[in-house]
Amino acid sequence: MPSISVLQLACGDLSINDPLWLTAQAFVREWFKPGLLMSPPSGDLIFKHSAAAFLAYRIFNQLLFPLRVDGGIGLASVTEDLSLDQERARAYAETVLEQSQRFASSTVLYNADFLEDAIVNTQLLHWADLKANQSEIQALLTLLYELHYPLYLAEDMQEEKHLVRGIQRIWQAKSKYLVQDEKLAAYQILDLSAPKAVRYRDIHEELDRSHYYVTGFFKKGYAASIARIAQTSRQNIDYHLQNGRFAWERDTAAALVLQLAREEAAL
């Protein structure tokens, strides 16, 4: 049955007119254009699928770091009254957004008013804990890895031609927040003149089916390019990629995408 998914965000004291927020919104709306049903002025994003809503939250989390970003994802089946379906999904999202803000760090929760919601939310909390245990530098670098190999859904995202330009604008907009953190201040300026080509592979295709668990969403070969962009050493990037558990975070996020698709199909 067709569905509708609402993503609501809370970004602390960040104003809806702040250049960083506006730039991030424009970036996500463009990249997820195939999966968006609409993006009303309220700032909510309305998707065809909850998996796309989760990936959009994950990107917002990367774009807006070091700011805290909480999210609520509401999912409702589509009936003959689409406006009523939107309101139902929005109400579901509001409920879990309020709960997500009670945790110690950035969190997103899911609500489809379905028996298995608790299972999905336990996985979401595990993923959020992985993110929270990354250092400030590692959390910052996740976006630069994403620039090379994004978690991608061909049905809901497009191969963004202006990905580099968009990330450059994001970095400029959040430089005032980076300079406030002694550890992040050294990463204020990026060199995006020659990044390695972006690898676009749908999550369902990229899944390594030779294993009995979700894996295969972290590839080697990007450390040198990330080091050039961040203007640091290859050894420094290698250290953060390994100790920041980039592979485990990405595999866990991909597993959530697959789980959300299964939950949606069961509605």
**Residues 142, 185, 56: CA angle, nearest 5 degrees:** 30
What is the average pLDDT score of the chain? Answer: 95
| pLDDT single digits (tens) 89-106 | 999 999 999 999 999 999
Query: For position 137, what pLDDT does the model report?
Result: 98
Query: For position 41, what pLDDT does the model report?
Result: 63
43, pLDDT greater than 80: no
Residues ≥6 apart with Cβ < 8 Å to 80: none
Say if CB 256 and CB 123 are below 8 A apart: yes
Q: Beta-carbon neighbour count of residue 95 at 10 Å?
A: 16
Poorest-pLDDT segment among 31-35, 36-40, 212-216 = 36-40
1, pLDDT greater than 70: no
The mean pLDDT of 213-227, rounded to a whole number, is: 96
Q: Categorize the per-residue pLDDT at 160 as very low, low, confident or very high, splitting at 50, 70 and 90.
A: confident
Say if CB 251 and CB 173 are below 8 A apart: no
| pLDDT single digits (tens) 127-146 | 999 999 999 999 999 999 99
Query: For position 47, what pLDDT does the model report?
Result: 97
Query: For position 42, what pLDDT does the model report?
Result: 65
Residue-range definition of the domain harbouring residue 187 = 3-266
Q: Categorize the per-residue pLDDT at 16 as very low, low, confident or very high, splitting at 50, 70 and 90.
A: confident
pTM: 0.97
The mean pLDDT of 30-46, rounded to a whole number, is: 86
Query: For position 162, what pLDDT does the model report?
Result: 85
The mean pLDDT of 182-201, rounded to a whole number, is: 93
Kind plus residue range of the DSSP H or E element containing 97: helix 82-100
Number of domains in the chain: 1
